[in-house]
């Protein structure tokens, strides 16, 4: 590895939440190399979650779901841009083989996590085994391969948004700054991470009894819009759907940042709430919750495995709602605890 580090590339091609979870790696590198320029190689759509970060020098973007010819052209164009930068250090946190090959073709000092496949390991200057239980711990452990000790590893998540992001919310909801509100995002990319609509409705009714306003949010996809509408129809008093499917990631971050509580499932907004320090209740099913739970001391995690045996990863049925075993009362009890512990329940009466 080069002793003088002036230009660094970090590769992480996965989902929004995964990109947010590499921010401790960025912070650790900035702390050791304050004058270095740090670039990111990401999927194009995931750039938005770090778009307001002042830690990133440049983004290099791979587009998903394109035809073979367009994909090859995209990779060649990105490689050409990266090659010109002559990186002093490349940190690969991406699992895909094409990205490993791309990085190897740059012929610059690189590091990645070790795999059983020897060919993968040969793509990089150095490989090391990952360490730690939580994904944040695992991500930063790669830096030990370039001489970082534990005291140099920054483990706080970072998420920035712009003033305009919050101002957009206020333009849609002038009453927002005066409200004590809860944000609930019940949707997830996959069914096996979702909870029952009627149970979300029970929780929303309980929050309304406490005098809290409830904003139900989701992504722009039609199925997500339909899900939040179904939940709203089951409530005694409907939650606010004004922003459902109508915010950018950073506008959603601004909404979560000003909330007294966030409630959701295993999806990117859960990690956003953790990064923003917003108290939260999060539901997990047939996933490794110890690895993926919110990286926060203000979070209550409810795992369906405490109520029913969860399948192994190889036996997972992605069309099944494993969270259905979690009772609504468990979530209501967790809300009591989190609000009490965070002192966010000042003036909020328990129903």
Q: What is the pLDDT of residues 42-70, one digit of tens each?
A: 999 999 999 999 999 999 999 987 788 99
How many CB atoms neighbour CB 29 within 10 A?
Answer: 24
**pLDDT of the residue at 342:** 75
pTM above 0.95, yes or no: no
**pLDDT of the residue at 314:** 87
In the CATH scheme, what is the homologous superfamily, with its name and number, of domain 7-152?
A: Glycogen Phosphorylase B; (3.40.50.2000)
Cβ(160)–Cβ(48) below 8 Å: no
Round to whole Å and give the CA distance between 39 and 45: 16
**pLDDT of the residue at 2:** 45
Q: List CB contacts of 76: < 8 A, sequence separation 6 or more.
A: none
**What's the gap between Cα 142 and its chain centre?**
19
Residue 213 host element (H or E) = strand 213-216
**What's the gap between Cα 100 and its chain centre?**
23
Q: What is the mean pLDDT of residues 271-284?
A: 98
**pLDDT of the residue at 343:** 63
For the chain, how big is the Rg over CA atoms in Å?
21
Q: What is the mean pLDDT of residues 282-299?
A: 96
Q: Per-residue pLDDT for 195 more than 70?
A: yes
Q: Per-residue pLDDT for 307 more than 70?
A: yes
**What's the gap between Cα 57 and its chain centre?**
21
Round to whole Å and give the CA distance between 10 and 179: 40
Round to whole Å and give the CA distance between 239 and 259: 15
**pLDDT of the residue at 66:** 77
pLDDT (tens digit, 9 = 90+) per residue, 218-264?
Answer: 999 999 999 999 999 999 999 999 999 999 999 999 999 999 999 99
**pLDDT of the residue at 344:** 47
| Owner of token pair 């979560």 | 256
**pLDDT of the residue at 351:** 52
Q: Which regions of the chain carry the CATH code 3.40.50.2000?
A: 7-152, 164-342
Round the average pLDDT of the chain to a whole number and report it: 95
Tell me the CA distances in angstroms from 329 to 5, 189, 334, 350, one per residue in order: 53, 25, 8, 13
Cβ(215)–Cβ(243) below 8 Å: yes
Determine whether 230 is exposed, middle or buried from the number of CB atoms within 10 Å of its CB (0-12, 13-18, 19+): middle
Q: Would you place residue 341 in the very low, low, confident or very high pLDDT band (cuts 50, 70, 90)?
A: confident
Q: Which residue has the higher pLDDT, 71 or 22?
A: 22
CATH number of 164-342: 3.40.50.2000
Torsion of CA 24, 89, 95, 267, to 10 degrees: 20
Cβ(289)–Cβ(301) below 8 Å: yes
Determine whether 33 is exposed, middle or buried from the number of CB atoms within 10 Å of its CB (0-12, 13-18, 19+): middle
Q: Per-residue pLDDT for 3 more than 80?
A: no
- Ordered DSSP codes for 248-311: -HHHHHHHHHT-SEEEEESSHHHHHHHHHT--EEEEE-SS-HHHHS-S-SSEEEEEGGGTSPPP
Q: Per-residue pLDDT for 29 more than 70?
A: yes
pLDDT (tens digit, 9 = 90+) per residue, 199-216?
Answer: 999 999 999 999 999 999
């Amino acid at each position: 590895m080069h002793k003088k580090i002036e230009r660094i590339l970090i590769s992480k091609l996965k989902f929004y939440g995964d990109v947010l979870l590499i921010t401790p790696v960025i912070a650790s590198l900035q702390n050791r190399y304050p004058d270095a320029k740090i670039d990111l190689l990401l999927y194009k759509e995931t750039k938005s979650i770090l778009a307001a970060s002042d830690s990133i020098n440049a983004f290099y973007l791979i587009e998903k779901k394109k035809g073979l010819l367009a994909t090859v052209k995209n990779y060649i164009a990105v490689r050409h841009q990266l090659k010109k930068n002559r990186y002093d250090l490349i940190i690969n946190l991406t699992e895909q083989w094409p990205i490993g090959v791309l990085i190897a073709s740059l012929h610059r000092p690189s590091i990645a996590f070790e795999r059983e496949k020897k060919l993968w390991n040969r793509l990089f200057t150095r490989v090391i085994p990952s360490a730690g239980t939580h994904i944040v711990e695992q991500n930063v452990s790669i830096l030990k391969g370039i001489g970082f000790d534990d005291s140099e590893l920054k483990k706080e998540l970072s998420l920035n948004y712009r003033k305009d992001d919050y101002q957009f919310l206020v333009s849609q909801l002038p009453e927002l700054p005066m409200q004590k509100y809860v944000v609930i995002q019940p949707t997830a990319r996959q069914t096996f991470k979702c909870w029952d609509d009627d149970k979300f409705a029970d929780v929303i009714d309980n929050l309304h009894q406490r005098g809290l306003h409830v904003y139900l949010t989701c992504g722009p996809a039609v199925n997500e819009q339909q899900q939040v509408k179904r939940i709203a129809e089951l409530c005694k008093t409907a939650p606010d759907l004004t922003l459902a499917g109508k915010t950018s990631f950073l506008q959603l971050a601004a909404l979560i940042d000003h909330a007294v509580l966030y409630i959701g499932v295993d999806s990117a907004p859960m990690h956003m709430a953790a990064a923003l320090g917003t108290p939260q209740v999060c539901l997990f099913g047939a996933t490794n919750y110890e690895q993926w739970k919110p990286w926060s001391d203000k979070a209550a995690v409810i795992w369906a495995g405490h109520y029913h045996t969860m399948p192994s990863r190889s036996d997972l049925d992605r069309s099944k709602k494993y969270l259905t075993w979690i009772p609504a009362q468990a979530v209501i009890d967790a809300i009591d605890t989190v609000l009490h512990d965070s002192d966010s329940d000042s003036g909020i009466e328990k129903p």
